[in-house]
A and B are shown apart, each in its own frame.
Chain A
Amino acid sequence: MIKFTDVTKRYGSIAAIDHLSLEIADSGIYCLLGRNGAGKTTLMKLLAGHIAASGGEISVDGKPVSPGHMPENVNFIENGSVQFNKRISELIDIAAELQEDFDRGFAYEMMKRFDLNPNKKFKQLSFGMRTMLNTIITLSNNSGAILLDEPTLGFDAIMRDQFNNLLLESYQAIPRVIMVSTHLIDEIEKVTERLIIIDQGRLLFEAGIDEIDEKAYTLSGTTAAVLPLLGGLNCIGQTMVGSLVAAHIYGERIAPPEGVSIDRMSLQDFFIYLVGGKSHE
């Protein structure tokens, strides 16, 4: 069980995490979304015990987390981490010796699938390959919680698809909490079960993908037909083109009257309207 209770992390006068409370009780693949600078990486670093909170409490399985008490069962490697300039195979072997629950077989399998040359040294790797290596090292750990910070940054479309498949395979083999922060929302939608959205360091939204699928929709039609319907609805955004309007709703579905169509809202649109929260004309 992961628990954030009124957690704040300040860098000088700026609050990267601002009185955030969150509980993750069940295993699953969680997608952590937020704009640049929303506090996603900071949240992961706090949970891994890489940095100390300025206020509030973080606990994993009831044990408080801090840099002096890094949780044994949470694994996180920050994206862009610099490694020793050794061969990839050596780095994986070292990680296996440093981490108790490391699955060396899975790491080598991932390396093979991603066509990563085990004899290449870290400094010879491209940005995408370095990200891949960090992702492999993190995901090969069988501990209770895996935190992946932008794990597909620099990957091409095929590699991203491979990664999503592996993520799912890894989770099916060992169900646990896997938290993935990403900007590629529609791609992660295929594998994720729950969505956590943070904005300006605060928890903005948390729900299952099924729930979002059910509750997030768009009503389209003429302004005369659509606008009167919005009174009792939670409208998170509107797009107007001339006399036509598309109203983006999160809440109970309604039966649309004649002349108004109802459409599914993509996860990306949902995120944009929820976080952006602006009307577009």
Chain B
Amino acid sequence: MNKSVRTITKLNLKNIKGAYIALIAGLAALGSNYIINFFISMNTGEAGGNTGVSMGWAVWALPVAAAIIIPAANFRRIISLGGKRDNFFKGSFRVYVLLAAAASLLGTIIYYLEAAYVAVSPLFDGVLGVPDTFGWGLHGPVVLFLQQFAFLFLTAAFTHTFVAAQGKWYGLAADIAALVVLCVFLPIEPLRNIVAGYAFLVIYNPNPFLQIVACLAIGLGFYMLNRPILARKIL
């Protein structure tokens, strides 16, 4: 790896404090859910009856917030120090791979810890985790890690590209496309099926191998769009 790419990777990892704060805040907020339930049960004398929301959801904040901060704030600063756009492209890619892997690993650990300690506790009827919601927990921890990693990479790559495009006509086009999906595609059934088909491919796919390959391929496709976008990005 060239020295400049390595430096940009390190700089980006160090300068996403907002993403780390979002992760910690998310973990704290969802973790406090358990504590509050504990005190409610102490007060009412009744245990159970509540489904906890897993702390594993909070790990998503890390790659997503990083993918907002890196193109919006770090890009200009890195170029101002003499970094090259091509090296920024490569360095940021490595950051998203690392963050998606770290977040997925943390999410997987949280899932199994919650399954072992929280879900069996009399305080909760169960814990609503990411793997339970998307069906990623059926093939063991390694496949869960890979499925979640691939999806988080896709999400980070999409967010990075979306944010990097802002300020140009294609950024505006992307904003309009996102609004069209939300406001037109979702309410109309035949169009909704297209969105559902995409969600089935990258999230609910019963074949984990296909889900992983689809997420990585689409994520890579989104990220490659950054080359022309970064080339035109004004400082």
Q: Which residues of A contact B (CB under 8 A)?
A: 45, 50-52, 66-68, 70, 72, 75, 77-78, 81-84, 91, 94-95, 97-100, 102, 134, 137, 141
Q: With an 8 A cutoff between CB atoms, is B15 at the interface? A: yes
Question: Given A52-B232, A97-B4, A75 and B82 touching (CB < 8 A)?
Answer: yes
Q: Output the nearest chain A residue to B84 by Cβ-Cβ distance.
A: A70
Q: Which residues of B contact A99 (CB under 8 A)?
A: 4, 81-82
Question: For the complex, what is the distance from the CA of A95 to the CA of B83, rounded to whole Å?
Answer: 8
Q: With an 8 A cutoff between CB atoms, is B35 at the interface? A: no
Q: Are B11 and A84 in contact (CB under 8 A)?
A: yes
Question: For the complex, what is the distance from the CA of A94 to the CA of B234, rounded to whole Å?
Answer: 22
Q: Are B234 and A51 in contact (CB under 8 A)?
A: yes
| Residue of B4, B76, B81, B231 ringed by the most chain A CB atoms within 10 A | B81
Measured CB to CB, the closest approach of chain B to A128, in angstroms, equals: 18
Question: Given A94-B11, A97-B3, A67 and B233 touching (CB < 8 A)?
Answer: yes
Q: Which residues of B contact A75 (CB under 8 A)?
A: 82
Q: With an 8 A cutoff between CB atoms, is B7 at the interface? A: yes
Q: Output the nearest chain A residue to B87 by Cβ-Cβ distance.
A: A98
Q: Which residues of B contact A68 (CB under 8 A)?
A: 85, 227-228, 230-232
Q: Which residues of B contact A137 (CB under 8 A)?
A: 81-82
Measured CB to CB, the closest approach of chain A to B189, in angstroms, equals: 43
Q: Are B15 and A84 in contact (CB under 8 A)?
A: yes
| Chain B interface main SS type | helix
Q: Which residues of A contact B81 (CB under 8 A)?
A: 77, 83-84, 91, 94-95, 98-99, 137
Measured CB to CB, the closest approach of chain A to B70, in angstroms, equals: 13
Question: For the complex, what is the distance from the CA of A82 to the CA of B233, rounded to whole Å?
Answer: 17
Q: With an 8 A cutoff between CB atoms, is B116 at the interface? A: no
Q: With an 8 A cutoff between CB atoms, is B78 at the interface? A: yes
Q: Which residues of B contact A (CB under 8 A)?
A: 3-4, 6-8, 11, 15, 76-85, 87, 227-228, 230-235
6 contacts between A and B (CB under 8 A): A68-B230, A68-B231, A82-B80, A98-B78, A98-B82, A99-B82
Give the contacting residue for B77; candidates A45, A52, A84, A141; CB below 8 A: A84
Question: For the complex, what is the distance from the CA of A67 to the CA of B84, rounded to whole Å?
Answer: 10
Q: Are B85 and A95 in contact (CB under 8 A)?
A: no
Q: Which residues of B contact A141 (CB under 8 A)?
A: 82
Measured CB to CB, the closest approach of chain B to A31, in angstroms, equals: 23
Q: Which residues of B contact A83 (CB under 8 A)?
A: 77, 80-81
Question: For the complex, what is the distance from the CA of A137 to the CA of B227, rounded to whole Å?
Answer: 27
Measured CB to CB, the closest approach of chain A to B113, in angstroms, equals: 36
Q: Which residues of A contact B8 (CB under 8 A)?
A: 98
Q: Output the nearest chain B residue to A81 by Cβ-Cβ distance.
A: B80
Q: Are A97 and B7 in contact (CB under 8 A)?
A: yes
Question: Given A68-B228, A84-B11, A98 and B83 touching (CB < 8 A)?
Answer: yes
Q: Which residues of A contact B6 (CB under 8 A)?
A: 97
Question: For the complex, what is the distance from the CA of A276 to the CA of B7, rounded to whole Å?
Answer: 48
Q: Output the nearest chain A residue to B6 by Cβ-Cβ distance.
A: A97
Q: Are A77 and B85 in contact (CB under 8 A)?
A: no
Q: Which residues of B contact A134 (CB under 8 A)?
A: 80
Question: For the complex, what is the distance from the CA of A8 to the CA of B17, rounded to whole Å?
Answer: 41
Q: Output the nearest chain A residue to B83 by Cβ-Cβ distance.
A: A98
Question: For the complex, what is the distance from the CA of A138 to the CA of B20, rounded to whole Å?
Answer: 32
Q: Which residues of B contact A66 (CB under 8 A)?
A: 231
Measured CB to CB, the closest approach of chain A to B18, in angstroms, equals: 13
Measured CB to CB, the closest approach of chain A to B226, in angstroms, equals: 11
Measured CB to CB, the closest approach of chain A to B203, in angstroms, equals: 34
Extra inter-chain contacts (4) besides given A67-B232, A70-B85, A98-B8, CB under 8 Å: A50-B235, A82-B77, A98-B82, A100-B4
Q: Which residues of A contact B231 (CB under 8 A)?
A: 66-68
Q: Which residues of A contact B4 (CB under 8 A)?
A: 97-100
Q: Which residues of B contact A94 (CB under 8 A)?
A: 7, 11, 81
Q: Are B78 and A78 in contact (CB under 8 A)?
A: no
Question: For the complex, what is the distance from the CA of A170 to the CA of B228, rounded to whole Å?
Answer: 36
Q: Which residues of B contact A97 (CB under 8 A)?
A: 3-4, 6-7
Q: Which residues of A contact B227 (CB under 8 A)?
A: 68
Q: Output the nearest chain A residue to B7 by Cβ-Cβ distance.
A: A97
Question: For the complex, what is the distance from the CA of A52 to the CA of B235, rounded to whole Å?
Answer: 11
Q: Output the nearest chain B residue to A134 by Cβ-Cβ distance.
A: B80
Question: For the complex, what is the distance from the CA of A139 to the CA of B6, rounded to whole Å?
Answer: 24
Measured CB to CB, the closest approach of chain B to A102, in angstroms, equals: 7
